[in-house]
Amino acid sequence: MKIFVDNKELEISGKRVIIEELREDGYDIPSLCYTPNAKHHTSCMICMVRNEANNQMIPSCSTIPVEGMRIDTSSDDVMTLRRTAIELLLSEHKARCGGCESKAKCRLRDLALRMKAKWTRFAPLPPVEPVVREHVTGRLWFEPAKCIRCGLCVYNSDNGFTFKGRGFGMQVVIPEPSKKNIDERIAELCPTGALYMVS
Amino acid sequence: MDNKEIIYRKTDAIIDRIGSGREQIIPLLQAIQQEFNYLPSDALDRLYERTDIDRAQLISVATFYSQLRMVPYGKHVIKVCIGTACHVKGANNVYDAFRRELKLEGDDITTADGLYSIEKVACLGCCALAPVVQIDEKIFGHVQPGRVREVLDEFEAMMANEGELTADDDGKAVQGEVRLGMENCCQASGTAEVYAAVVEACKDLGIHVRIKPVSCVGTCNQVPLIDVAMPDGNIVRYPNIKPDEVKEILLHHFRPASRLRRLRNAILNQIDTFHTDQTWDNILFIPEKERTQSINNFLDGQFRISTEGYGHLNPLDLDEYISMGGFEALKKALTSMSPQQVIDEVLHSGIRGRGGGGFLTGKKWQLVRDNANLSPQTLTSKPSTLNSLPIIICNGDEGDPGAFMDRILLESYPLRVIEGMMIAAYAVGAAEGIFYIRAEYPQAVIRIRKALDMCRQKGLLGEHIFETDFTFDIRIFEGAGAFVCGEETALIASLEGKRGFPHRRPPYPAQEGLNGRPTLINNVETLSQISYIIRHGADEYAKVGTSGSRGTKVFALAGKVNHGGLIEVPMGTTLRQIVDDIGGGVEGGEKLKAVQIGGPSGGCIPAELCDTGVDFDALNQMGAIMGSGGLVVLGESSCMVDVARYFTNFTCAESCGKCTFCRVGIRRMLDILDRLTTGQAKMEDIDRLEELAQNIKQAAQCGLGKTAPNPVLSTLRYFRHEYEEHVNGICRTGSCKQMVKLEITDDCVGCTKCARSCPSDAIAYTPYEKHVIDTEKCTQCGLCVYECDYQAIKKVKKS
C-alpha cells in the first residue's frame, strides 16, 4: 500500500495501525497509552497525526491506513496540539517531579521536556502533599495521583485493575481481593510513575 | 433467616429470571436496585458467586452509570430537573429551596428520618412545565422556590389516595366522548384531577360519555385540555380547565338521560349561577374563538407525520390504529415490495436521521444490508455465521437536556414507532430488535411494553407476520443513565455489559456492531416517519420540507416562550415563525435574544439570524446543529455566558473519560467559564477559551467531545461582547449570582414582607422603614423579589 507522510511517498504493508508502520520506517511518533504487544484503547491522543483529506486529527495507534492516504506528522498544527495534549495531562497529574522515584522511567516527563510543555498552562502546580501509595503485590506499588488514565493496566490485567467513575473524576482502582491477580511486571506498561516496582 | 440470607435469596431469584452472562450485568443491577433501593454489597457478592461477572467488571459498570447507586436512598426520591429549560427558569433555586425545607445540611442528600432523598437529574423531559420536580413516579410542574412545601404536601396527599384511573363502563348508550391527554406532563398539570372530575360528574349528572385517553396535542401550557367530541362529529375544545369547571361543560353538551335528573340539575345550576363568585369567569361564557385562539395559532403552522392522530388517537388502541391506516405500510412492504425496494424508497425520500447526526437513513440501511451479505430478495442471512445476523436497535436514549420529543413519540405513538422499526428490520434482514429506552422515562417503557404485547397477541410480532416468511420480535433494554450512551458505539458497549466507552469508527456499527453483527441504529423519530413514506410513497414525503432536509421535524419548544410544547413542522419553517407564530412570542414581552438549538452539541442562533429555516445544512453553517430537536428560547434576561457554562458543565459531567481532550479539555473550559461567571476572569481567558474549544473540536474522539465546544464557540461568535462585559465585572442580566447583589430601592414602604419571607434571615425586620439586605447572608434565592408588591428589590452590580 502506498501512502504519503509529510509529503513523502511511503510503501507500507497496510495491515497494521499507522503508528506501527511509521515507527518501523524510522518516524518518531510518541505515545503514552500505546505500547507494542499490549492491549490498548485510544486514550491519550499523543500519537495523533493529521489526515490531510479532511483535516481531522486521528490517533495513529488505532487507525488502519487506506490507499493513498496523506498524513501530516510534523507540522506546527500537529506539534501544537500534541503539546496541548501533554499540558492537559500534566494538569491532571497531581504530583511534582522533584522527589519522584520514577523520574527515570516516566514517559510523560520525558515527552513534556522534549516538547517543551508548559507545566502550569491549565492548572497550578500540585501542592507538595505526602505521597499516597498503595502496595499491590510483590514489589509493585501504586500511586493514584500520578495516573493519567491511559488504561494500560486495566486492559492488561484480568479481574485486576479497573476504572471507577467516569469523566474528569475517573480513577483507576485495584480492589483488595483482586490484588492476587496482578503480575508485578505490569509496572513496565505504566507510562508514568503511578505503577512502579521498588528495587 | 437473617438479612444476608434474604438478600441472597432475592438476588438468586433475580439471577434465575434474567441470566448469568456478563452482558446481563446492567439488567441484573437494575433489578437488584429495584428490589433493595440500592446495590447492597451482599447482593454483589452473590453475583460474583453465581454469575460470570467479576469484580473488575462490576466496579467499572456500577460506577459509570448514574442510575446505579451503592448507598441506600430514602423511601422517596425527589428529582429536581436541571435540564436547559428548567435551568433557565431557576431550577437551582428550587433545589436549594427543597434542601432548606427538608433541613439538609452540607453534602447530605437523605433526610434524617430516611423519608426523602434528593438529587439533581439531567432532564425529565417535561420542559414546557419548567421548573420540574419528580417525586417517585409523580411529576410536578411550574415549581417555584416558595412553593416547595406545597409540593411535598401534595405528594403526601397523593400517596394517601392511590387509586386506579378507570371509568366504569356500564354498557349504556354513549352520548359522546370526552378526550384528554394523559401523558406524564399532562398529569403534572392536574389532568388526573380533571379525569376524576369527569368520572364523578358523569355519575352525578346521569350522563353517559366515553372517556378516552388520547395522544399528546403538544400544547403543554394549556393543559388540562379536553376535547368534547359529539356524535355529529363536532369537536369543542376547552384548554386550561379546572376540575370544578367539568360539570358545567358536560352539562352544556350532554343532557342527562332521566327527566328528573334534568330538572334537578337545572335548579341546582340556577342556584350556582347566581350564588357563586365564578359566574363571570365561567369558561362557557368565553366565546370559543377567544378560548382557543392561541391553541389554533399553535397548531396551524404544523404538519403531522410522526404525530399524526394527535389529540384523537388512543396511544394503546391497536384496533383504532389499524382502522386509521396503521400497519398498512408494513403490510404493503411485506406483501408487495422486496427488502431492497423498501430501502430504495426510503433512500429516495431523502429522509435524514433525526437523532442529531442527519445521516441519510436509506444509506445506513443499505450499509447494514450489504454487510449482512444478503441478496436483494433474501429475508434474513443464513445462520452460518452468527456474526452476520443483522439486528436493529431503536435509540430512545434521548439525553439532551431540554428535549422530550422521543419521550412523547414513545408514549403517545408507540405503535407507529414499532411499525417503522419492523419495516426497517424487513429491509435490512433483521429478525431481532431492541428498544433502548433511557431509565428516566419509565412511562415510555411501560407503554412500549404494553404495545409490544398487544402486537404479539395479534400476530403482528413473531413468526409469519402477515402470513409471509418475515419473523421478528423486539425486546426492551433500559438505559442506566449516561448521556454518552446515545452515541452508537457507546450504546452498543452498554448492551454488551461494558461501561459506555465509545470506540473508533471505522468499523461502523452497520459493519460490526453489537457482538460484531451488522447493527442498524435509528432514532425514535426517524422510525416514526417510515410508515408515512411507505404508505404514501417517497415522492409524497419529499414534497414536504427543503431539498436538503426532507420531511418534518418534531421540536420541543421550551424556555422563555409563551406557548411552549411539542410541535411538528415542515423542514424549512423559520425559527422566527416557530417562536412568534406558533410559540406566541417571548415570555414577559421580552425581546428575543437567541434560540438555543441542538442541546449540548448545538449552538445559539441570535435573533437577527432567526429568519433562517430549520434545515440541517443551513444550521451547520451558522455554527449550530439541528440536534435531536430541543429548542430553548432565550430572552434579554438570559445570560449567554451562563448558557455556555451550563452546557459545558453538562458535557463535563457526562464525558466518558476515555480521551484526553474531552475528559480534561472540557473540564479546563469549565474552569475558565467558572472564572468568567464569577467575575474573576481576565481578557486573555476569552482567547484561551476559544483556542481550547477549537482544539477539543479537532482532537476529541467521539461526537460528545467533538461537539461539546459548540455552545462555547457559537456564543463567542455572536455574543463576544457579553464575555468581555463579564471580564469587566458586569453581568447585565443578573444571572451570574456572584457578580450581582440584591438591593432594596427607595420604593420600599417598609411592609416587612421580604424580611418575613427570607429563609436566610438576611433582611432585618424594620416596619415602616426602608429594609436593607445583608449581602453576606443573601443566597439570591429570589423569594423576596417574588413577595414584594412594590417592585422595590433589584439586582445591581456587586462592586
Burial class (CB in 10 A: 0-12, 13-18, 19+), A121: middle
Q: CB–CB of A85 and B699 under 8 A? A: yes
Chain A residue with the nearest C-alpha to that of B481: A166
Rounded CA-CA distance B41/A177 in Å is 14
The answer to whether the beta carbons of residues B80 and B104 sit under 8 Å apart is no
Residue B579 DSSP class: I
Q: Where are the domains of chain A?
A: 2-74, 84-197
Residues of chain B with pLDDT under 50: 164-167, 279-280, 382-384
String of DSSP letters for B647-696? HHHHHHHH--S-SHIIIIIHHHHHHHHHHHHTT---HHHHHHHHHHHHHH
Q: Does residue B568 belong to the interface with chain A, where contact is any CB pair within 8 Å?
A: no
Taking contacts as CB-CB distances below 8 angstroms, the residues of chain A near B665 are: 88
State the pLDDT at residue B417: 97
Q: CB–CB of B652 and A163 under 8 A? A: no
Classify domain B552-727 by CATH number: 3.10.20.600
Beta bridge partners of B458: none
Rounded CA-CA distance B652/B662 in Å is 8
CB contacts < 8 A (A, B): 115
- All three cell numbers of B172, joined, read 349504556
CATH number of this structure's domain B318-542, picked from the four choices 3.40.50.11540, 3.30.470.30, 3.40.50.300, 3.90.245.10:
3.40.50.11540
Domains B76-160 and B176-287 share a fold: yes
Taking contacts as CB-CB distances below 8 angstroms, the residues of chain A near B666 are: 168
* Helix (H) or strand (E) segment spanning residue B407: helix B405-412
Chain A residue with the nearest C-alpha to that of B668: A122
Q: What is the largest CA-CA distance in chain A?
A: 53
Rounded CA-CA distance B350/B330 in Å is 19
Rounded CA-CA distance B82/B133 in Å is 9
Mean pLDDT by 10 residues, chain A (199 residues): 94 92 94 94 95 93 94 95 97 90 93 95 88 94 96 97 96 96 96 94
A-proximal residues of B, 469-488, CB under 8 Å: 482
Q: CB–CB of B59 and A123 under 8 A? A: no
Q: Half-sphere exposure (CA, 13 Å, Cβ side) for B153?
A: 4
Q: CB–CB of A161 and B698 under 8 A? A: no
Q: Which residues contact B647 (CB under 8 A, 6 or more apart)?
A: B84, B599, B600, B708, B711, B712
- Class of the A2-74 domain? alpha beta
Tell which phi-psi region holds residue B318, choosing left (phi > 0), alpha (psi between -120 and 50) or beta: alpha
Q: CB–CB of B699 and A57 under 8 A? A: yes
Q: Nearest to residue A39, comparing CAs of A139, A138, A161, A164?
A: A161
- All three cell numbers of A12, joined, read 507500507
Q: CB–CB of A41 and B657 under 8 A? A: no
Fold of B76-160: Glutaredoxin (3.40.30)
Q: Residue type at A2?
A: K
Q: Nearest to residue B35, comparing CAs of B60, B6, B64, B1?
A: B6
Q: CB–CB of B663 and A56 under 8 A? A: no
Chain B residue with the nearest C-alpha to that of A66: B506
Q: CB–CB of B657 and A165 under 8 A? A: yes
What spatial distance separates the first Cα and last Cα of chain B, rounded to whole Å?
A: 66
Rounded CA-CA distance B653/B655 in Å is 6
Chain A residue with the nearest C-alpha to that of B59: A164
Taking contacts as CB-CB distances below 8 angstroms, the residues of chain B near A81 are: 695, 698-699
Q: Does residue B457 belong to the interface with chain A, where contact is any CB pair within 8 Å?
A: no
Q: Where are the domains of chain B?
A: 3-62, 76-160, 176-287, 318-542, 552-727, 739-797
State the pLDDT at residue B280: 47
Residue of B56, B506, B663 lying closest to A178 (CB–CB):
B56
Rounded CA-CA distance B240/B565 in Å is 14
Mutate to test the interface with A, among B503, B656, B658, B688 (most CBs of A within 10 A): B658
Burial class (CB in 10 A: 0-12, 13-18, 19+), B230: middle
Mutate to test the interface with B, among A136, A159, A163 (most CBs of B within 10 A): A163
Q: What is the pLDDT of residues B759-792, one digit of tens each?
A: 888 999 889 999 999 998 888 888 888 889 998 9
Q: Which residues contact B453 (CB under 8 A, 6 or more apart)?
A: none
Fold of B176-287: Glutaredoxin (3.40.30)
The answer to whether the beta carbons of residues B627 and B597 sit under 8 Å apart is yes
pTM (2 decimals)? 0.92
Q: Min CA distance, A99 vs chain B (Å)?
A: 25
Residue B545 DSSP class: B
Fold of B739-797: Alpha-Beta Plaits (3.30.70)
Q: Nearest to residue B541, comparing CAs of B549, B553, B533, B529?
A: B533
Mutate to test the interface with A, among B505, B663, B672 (most CBs of A within 10 A): B663
Rounded CA-CA distance B699/B556 in Å is 31
State the pLDDT at residue B387: 64
